[in-house]
Structure 1
């Protein structure tokens, strides 16, 4: 009876999967002694996949590039496992998994560029599910409250610019396209705009220029009228068009577009923001490195290797500790006094300039600062910096002395108030007046440093006082050990 009941009930719900839970041995041969089954609904069998979205790995990140996948399709993934490497606007950051499961489908392959935040880049399923049969969800439709997406551009009639008696339409031009059109006096209404949202791009302008050059008709020579003598014909005039500044004569393309990386675009944006919103002020002083160089030699005898830049970092940190009014940043609501001294050091990489941070530099010795700086500089060149290793600095240092630069002015890294530009050292012989009034020639190893300061936070007097204290600290390295 038990068997017939089970088969009969299963026949009613054919096609559904049954899972054996247990067998009861208490009453063999009865209904209670049958194998018990439970029906699993299709929603449980084919649960929705877990979406892996492009995350925000830095506060200013708007899009990222998929550099490399560290897991492949079918691999088991645990919480905290490294999924892939994402290039943000600052560095290459390892993205970790927030869920357990199996990586079922990679939607954004390695090398995918400019992937917006929130974009679906992969799918995961729970362990035990068939990851090969994962269904890719359809793109989410626009909500009722959001405006509908603009229809795709169709090769319709070219937009009308200024036609008498008709409505005026505004044509959106890219800066490069506007320059080409203005230089050659071209009418953009003759070519359909191919850019996103109807933008007339540089390629459209070049196509129009090429089309105009190939279709320009040759003006026919007017034959003399039988009633008009040839001598009375108007003289022929020749018109020479000015050569384009974008290309040499006879060449249709003399430039190459260089794709800007995410890091390069962010650097350009921040530099423009700094120079247009921060009133830069500059002050310069020469420092004698004689004592620092001698101390380096003494430390090298004990196999302690430190650089001049390590002493500079320490001197800046100690000076900020002595002058906390310089350790400030500018916020939308006004100045903000910082209670930590984190020194940002500029490091040049293949992707651009990045500023890893020596944290709590005032409380560290020169040897510890040297070790931290080497590790951070290597991670910056490898693109392995974590967000907390390049965000939150209070003062920046840019050293171009190793490139043979004697002196320069650096651009402030907002929201910081100051950046110190360091040049190369040079030997000089100067005349020093002794206490008795006599002059003594002294050989010095001088280094020029220039402080760029935010005039809203650090005025000229405060900047001068900072440089005087910095000079005193650097020229007396033993004194910094007591700070």
Structure 2
């Protein structure tokens, strides 16, 4: 029986070889090549990761690997702009980068979206198997509607010579406003989508900056119908008359009345808007203000400068805040949704203004650091924040925030609490004032003092007015007596 099975298999092989000979060498190659292309090389999907706790979408800033390039675990794949900073995404597998699904400059890529495909080493990356169904295709630099790529097109009259016009919302708005037929626009977007730039190019070629009323194509009417009264064209927008939907301004042309210009929004700016709205609408803010005398701090700062120790007034403020929190641990708390949670470590978040928005890097264990160590840490973190190179652990968390606008000439202001923290200290600029004081003999006299305004914004659920007043009083005492409270 085994011999029969062996001879039967050999017969099948001979028949297959004879068939290949009948087809010829070229026909056999086409058959094998078609089979390889049909199945393709199995791939490993690379999806958009969550690089911060509050991240919901990200922007692809730059790809650091090219298609066909070998990748080892730990290698940098691409740079992703999160809601906090630009973070380098590292590969978790070895292999070859076969296909980049989302190009550089793509914005608002949702978490879990497919951004690249990898294959194992030794496999043909040019024949990578591309998944037929992709989840949440991201929008690129030109805004694309989710319905344009993920949902079937709505029923309507078919375009001649096309399977249907794919058009982004911004482009549709421009074409509708200027009365341009989408069929005359040449698409340049991915998968034949008409982009905003395509629409603006056609509008610029026609030399039309104002809206026009597009009369709908009349349907075939029965023989006996009432006459249709022709509609009057809308008058041009002059003076204060503007269309209800203002058109977008055209690059390279003078701004027309009623137009607007779109401003791209970074992920950081979106998250700032979301968190500030959440903070003001869910946290009962209470405010307390006081003045601090900077005489002792400025004198000590000059003495340290003689020893080549360069520190700023803001460094003393950070240290004084950390010392005060150590003395009053009931203020070093956060809101967990149901009640307060006392924090064991004192981590001070400092607000840094960047081109992409405000970000708060953290000086950890600030109460146990000296003034010079705090100064060095603050400089490094501020520079990394401006360059967008902060690591997630350098801006996530924090127990207390400080926002200093004194260098911008702001006398005093009230800051918005950074949830889930309980407080934020707003620091204004210093000013010289004449203050009535007493001399050594107890006689009244006028003296000059350099005062600084500070305002504490506190969460009324965690820090009541009495506790906030006590905290400010203790903070002022520590700042005005830097040698006594061991700020060094």
What's the TM-score once normalised by structure 2's chain length? 0.71
The residue aligned with 1:153 is 154
Higher Cα Rg, which structure = 1
Q: Given that residues 73 and 94 in structure 2 are in contact (C-alpha distance below 8 angstroms), is that contact kept between their aligned partners in structure 1?
A: yes
Q: After superposition, what is the alpha-carbon deviation per residue over 1:156-176, rounded to whole angstroms, capped at 9, x for unaligned?
A: 8xxxxxxxxxxxxxxxxxxxx
The residue aligned with 2:407 is 402
After superposition, where does 1:27-426 map in structure 2 within 5 Å? Answer: 48-139=42-133, 151-155=152-156, 210-211=211-212, 217=232, 243=241, 253-426=258-431
In structure 2, the CA distance between the partners of 1:469 and 1:103, relative to structure 1 (3 Å rule), is: same
Partners in 1 of 2:441 and 2:241 — Cα distance?
Answer: 72
Partners in 2 of 1:50 and 1:449 — Cα distance?
Answer: 54
**Which structure 1 segments of 5+ residues have no match?**
16-40, 143-148, 157-176, 178-202, 204-208, 220-239
Q: Given that residues 295 and 449 in structure 2 are in contact (C-alpha distance below 8 angstroms), is that contact kept between their aligned partners in structure 1?
A: yes
Helix, strand or coil: the match of 1:477? coil
Q: Given that residues 320 and 487 in structure 2 are in contact (C-alpha distance below 8 angstroms), is that contact kept between their aligned partners in structure 1?
A: no
Helix, strand or coil: the match of 2:424? strand
Q: Given that residues 370 and 487 in structure 2 are in contact (C-alpha distance below 8 angstroms), is that contact kept between their aligned partners in structure 1?
A: no
Kindly state the Cα deviation for residue 451 of structure 1 after the two structures are TM-superposed: 0.5
Kindly state the Cα deviation for residue 372 of structure 1 after the two structures are TM-superposed: 0.8
Partners in 1 of 2:107 and 2:390 — Cα distance?
Answer: 20
Kindly state the Cα deviation for residue 316 of structure 1 after the two structures are TM-superposed: 0.4
The residue aligned with 2:166 is none
In structure 2, the CA distance between the partners of 1:257 and 1:482, relative to structure 1 (3 Å rule), is: closer
Q: Given that residues 319 and 367 in structure 2 are in contact (C-alpha distance below 8 angstroms), is that contact kept between their aligned partners in structure 1?
A: yes
In structure 2, the CA distance between the partners of 1:110 and 1:251, relative to structure 1 (3 Å rule), is: closer
Q: Given that residues 400 and 421 in structure 2 are in contact (C-alpha distance below 8 angstroms), is that contact kept between their aligned partners in structure 1?
A: yes
Q: Given that residues 46 and 129 in structure 1 are in contact (C-alpha distance below 8 angstroms), is that contact kept between their aligned partners in structure 2?
A: no
In structure 2, the CA distance between the partners of 1:110 and 1:291, relative to structure 1 (3 Å rule), is: same
Helix, strand or coil: the match of 2:483? helix
After superposition, where does 1:423-434 map in structure 2 within 5 Å? Answer: 423-434=428-439
Say which is worse superposed, 390-399 or 123-132, in terms of deviation: 123-132
Q: Does 1:461 align with 2:466?
A: yes
Partners in 1 of 2:242 and 2:466 — Cα distance?
Answer: 50
In structure 2, the CA distance between the partners of 1:135 and 1:13, relative to structure 1 (3 Å rule), is: farther
Partners in 2 of 1:155 and 1:262 — Cα distance?
Answer: 36
CA RMSD, 1 decimal: 3.9
Q: Given that residues 41 and 129 in structure 2 are in contact (C-alpha distance below 8 angstroms), is that contact kept between their aligned partners in structure 1?
A: no
Q: After superposition, what is the alpha-carbon deviation per residue over 1:338-368, rounded to whole angstroms, capped at 9, x for unaligned?
A: 1111100000001000000000101111111
Helix, strand or coil: the match of 1:414? coil
Helix, strand or coil: the match of 1:377? helix
Kindly state the Cα deviation for residue 154 of structure 1 after the two structures are TM-superposed: 3.7
Q: Given that residues 73 and 104 in structure 1 are in contact (C-alpha distance below 8 angstroms), is that contact kept between their aligned partners in structure 2?
A: yes
